[in-house]
Every structure is written in C-alpha cells, then in structure tokens.
Amino acid sequence: MVLTNAPIISHKRRGTKTPFHSKGGDTLTTLYVIAMAPQGGSPEGGLMSTLIMFALIIGIFYLMILRPQQKRQKERQKMLDAVRKGDKIITAGGLHGTIAGVEEKTLLVQVSDNVKLKFDRSAIASIVREAEPDTKESK
C-alpha cells in the first residue's frame, strides 16, 4: 500500500519508512492499518444494518419533533376556531383586549373605550379568559 501525497519519514529505531510523523508513528501506523482493514461479513448485511439505523433515526425524529409539533398546531387551531365575542385575549405583539367582533379571518379587538382594532386570527397568542356564555333563565 502506497500513499502518494503523504510525506515519508524514516524511523531511526527500525529504519522503516511510514507515511506518518516520527513521533508516535508506531501507534498511528497501527491505527491506520486497523481503520483500513476490510470489514467482515457480507455486503447485504452492511446494507441492511444501515437501512435499519436510518429507519430508526427517522422514527426517533418523527416521535421527538414532528408529532409534538403537529399536536401543538392542532391545539392552536382549535383555540383560534373557538374565539368568540367577549373573550379576553393577548395578541402576539402583547396587546391585551376584548373581542368585539368575529369575522371569518379577522377579529375586531376592543383595547380601550372607543378604540377597536382589526387583527388577523393568527395574531392571537392566547385567550386569557373566555367570555361567559349567555345564560338566560326563563321563569
């Protein structure tokens, strides 16, 4: 085995040449030989174990990252669909207000007396307190 680009330095002890530096050359030569040794087993076994490891990595990635993210998105969408007039909310920008009107994609938020702002539904960060349902008892 000949390495073309590696500098060849001779060992003073043995008079042999190695493609590594003279300090620690024996250890590096041994490591190099071990690393370059052909792996035993059939090529199909190596391919199968690689595919199994790849599938495990994808499975762990799905369980640890994608699945919880999808769950959070569903919960957020459920919260945005449940917004109704009278709910106290906080927007993504930190504005506190009360829902004064609900449209398909936008909400009218009352932030003060005579001050109403129109926001996209996606701008809602959280619902602080839901409006109390209209309960009128008939006598």
- Exposed / middle / buried, residue 56 (Cβ in 10 Å: 0-12, 13-18, 19+): exposed
Domain count, the chain: 2
pLDDT at 129: 78
Q: Which domain holds residue 6?
A: 1-37
pLDDT at 138: 45
Q: Is residue 63 part of a domain?
A: no
At 2-16, the pLDDT tens digits run 555 655 555 555 555
pLDDT at 26: 65
Cα(58)–Cα(93) distance, integer angstroms:
36
Q: Is residue 122 part of a domain?
A: yes
Q: Is residue 25 part of a domain?
A: yes
pLDDT at 134: 62
Q: Is residue 48 part of a domain?
A: no
Q: Which residues of the chain have pLDDT under 50?
A: 20-21, 138-139
